Amino acid sequence: MCGIVGYVGHRPALPILLEGLHRLEYRGYDSAGIALVGSRGIETFKRSGRVRDLESILPAARARIRRATTGIAHTRWATHGAPSDRNAHPHLDRHGRIAIVHNGIIENAAALRARLALDGVEFASETDSEVLAHLIAAMPAGRLVDAVRAALQLVTGAYGLAVMDAERPDTLVVARNGSPVVLGIGEREMFAASDTAALVRHTSQVVHLDDGELAELRADGYETSTLEGGPTVKTPLTVTWAAEALDKGSYGHFMRKEIDEQPDAVRRTLTGRLDHRFHTSRLGGLELDPRALLEIRRVKILGCGSAWIAGTIGAHLIEQLARIPAHAEPASEFRYRNPVIEPDCLYIAVSQSGETFDTLAAVQEVTRKGGQVLGIVNVVGSSIARACGRGIYVHAGPEVSVVSTKAMTCTATAFALLALHLGRIRDLAPTEGQRLVAALEALPGQIASILADEPAIAAIAQTFAGVSNAYFVGRARGYPVALEGALKLKEVSYLHAEAYPASELKHGPLALIEAATPTVVVLPRDALFAKNLSTIEEIHARQGPVVVVTHPGPLPIAVAGRIDVPQSAPELDPILLNVPLQLLAYHVALAKGRDVDRPRNLAKSVTVE
């Protein structure tokens, strides 16, 4: 949730760390801090608020610290201790020799604090993280990496950690257990970060640490080892993201930019994966041959938030096209209920970041029990992608906005490719495959035409800005569209929005409908069109205003608002019906003056439990 950046090399560390913090601010943004090691030992600067607030306290010290070539930095999303200057990272030991920045939660922090207090340590913050600085400082003198290793052997919990020692200004040590750490390899310089986004401006060569691994970084290279002390061998990966993809360009918000990027992003998801000869899809990363795929009797999809909802769209696609029973469940629920793992079930972990703790834990639970799991993931080389070892990369490009848009659309598209593949191995006829391949190819252009309708969607958004509640309903494959529409709206505009299956309305939620409560009805022109019209009648009978997301053509009922999307193959309709609801949420947020790219209380990737 928080962001870490570290640098050791030949250039001034300060601008590199600040730039990295700006890149990572989307991960957590309640306080930020920097520590640099120079001739006067370690100097720290920290501030609650945004990175720009931290920058405002630097000018006085800039001349003094500008030559420091080693440093660590942090942007925080508070877990232990309120957001404040004193709780901001980096934290120091009592002599100011060791500085640390930490992501994750130290579970035995209370016991460690009590033990350190007996040795006379006075704590400067309420955080669990501070114990790490004192513990490392208390270890026998020697190599910093050995002191960190010895301290971590006393720690239970999750960490992504970067450590600096005033007495060894040419060295940084980083460690990982449950919270990502990536090394960046430069020319006579090394970088470390919790997220590749902070590195791509400087290098395309990265190394992902595994859980239980440490690394010692110097300007001329790095060494990795395990918590037990054995050396490890790592193979660097090449990152293909262009640094510009992480800039807002001429857009006011990353969310709006990423909504606009969807035609190109979906094109990337599809590139090289459509097979016109056999009317199917080619998915090399599955590493399951047709015989193994034929043996699958059930599909279970696991993810959180929008990734889970994309999985719900995926479950419908797999059931419809491949006739395999499929179901999506929040990964966070699955992992806690001692799930039954079936040998003929295919488990699919879905994640944009590839770092969501609950989803990673669900993958580990499935593999521990001998289940077969594959990943549908956006970030190449991320923890979930590596834990699954096979699957489909979504190729949406970097998603910076906390509110997921293009990754959701591309993930749903990746599910369509998988469903087509599974279907064509089974009973889906070639003509049906042909119909779907054509429909998939049409998606980018159709999304572009929806985006062109923005002014009409923005006008409807104005009518939502003044209400206190909104409902979203959809049937069957329309229900995940309603779920995602409500999630987007509440995340970015803080308007209370709930989604229900349309068929459930009369079993309770109808009691909430009144003249001041708009309902968005997902109304594709499919076999359930008439049923959805009856739902609208029920809402109208309670004076509820209705906005429909539908396909072109006459509507037998007058509605308060109407958004049209082009018709696709019915199975793919959810992908298109979802897009205008992203724009709706964006414009409601703008009308309500919300901080679109930094919604309150949220972080881009939830790497804690």
Binding site for ligand AGP (CB under 6 A): 304-307, 351-353, 356, 359, 402-404, 491, 605-606
CB of 257 to ligand AGP, least distance (A): 15
Residue 592 known to be catalytic: no
SS3 282: coil
CB of 498 to ligand AGP, least distance (A): 15
Cβ atoms of 457 and 357 closer than 8 Å? no
**Beta carbon nearer to ligand AGP, 436 or 520:** 520
**Beta carbon nearer to ligand AGP, 305 or 423:** 305
**Beta carbon nearer to ligand AGP, 97 or 257:** 257
CB of 399 to ligand AGP, least distance (A): 8
**Beta carbon nearer to ligand AGP, 226 or 367:** 367
Cβ atoms of 59 and 14 closer than 8 Å? no
Strands, DSSP E only, in 316-359? Answer: 326-330, 345-351
Q: Which residue number is nearest to ligand AGP in terms of Cβ? A: 305
Q: Where are the alpha helices (DSSP H) in 382-429?
A: 383-388, 406-425
**Beta carbon nearer to ligand AGP, 281 or 306:** 306
Catalytic residue among 46, 406, 488, 604: 604
CB of 165 to ligand AGP, least distance (A): 34
Residue 604 known to be catalytic: yes
**Beta carbon nearer to ligand AGP, 54 or 304:** 304
Cβ atoms of 467 and 517 closer than 8 Å? yes
Q: Which amino acid is at 37?
A: V
CB of 452 to ligand AGP, least distance (A): 24
> Residues 6 or more apart from 482 whose CB is under 8 A from it?
472, 473, 474, 499, 500, 501, 502, 520, 522
**Beta carbon nearer to ligand AGP, 203 or 306:** 306
Dihedral angle computed from the Cα positions of residues 335, 340, 345 and 347, in that order, rounded to the nearest 10 degrees: 0
**Beta carbon nearer to ligand AGP, 207 or 407:** 407
**Beta carbon nearer to ligand AGP, 38 or 314:** 314
CB of 488 to ligand AGP, least distance (A): 7
CB of 15 to ligand AGP, least distance (A): 29
> Residues 6 or more apart from 580 whose CB is under 8 A from it?
450, 453, 457, 549, 563, 565
CB of 77 to ligand AGP, least distance (A): 12
Cβ atoms of 208 and 236 closer than 8 Å? no
Cβ atoms of 298 and 326 closer than 8 Å? yes
Q: Which residues of 403-425 are buried (b: 16+ CB within 10 A; e: fewer)?
A: bbbbbbbbbbbbbbbbbbbbbbb
* Helix, strand and coil percent figures for the chain, each rounded to 5: 40, 25, 35
Is the bond preceding 556 in cis, omega lying within 30 degrees of 0? no
Catalytic residue among 2, 345, 388, 410: 2
CB of 379 to ligand AGP, least distance (A): 8
> Residues 6 or more apart from 187 whose CB is under 8 A from it?
none
Largest CA distance in the chain: 80
Alpha-carbon Rg for the chain in angstroms: 25
Dihedral angle computed from the Cα positions of residues 191, 197, 198 and 201, in that order, rounded to the nearest 10 degrees: 80
Cβ atoms of 32 and 51 closer than 8 Å? yes
What letter does residue 44 receive in the DSSP assignment? E
CB of 184 to ligand AGP, least distance (A): 21
> Residues 6 or more apart from 319 whose CB is under 8 A from it?
325, 326
**Beta carbon nearer to ligand AGP, 258 or 573:** 258
Dihedral angle computed from the Cα positions of residues 549, 555, 556 and 562, in that order, rounded to the nearest 10 degrees: 50
Angle at which helix 430-451 crosses helix 262-270, to 10 degrees, equals 160
Q: Which residues are catalytic?
A: 2, 604
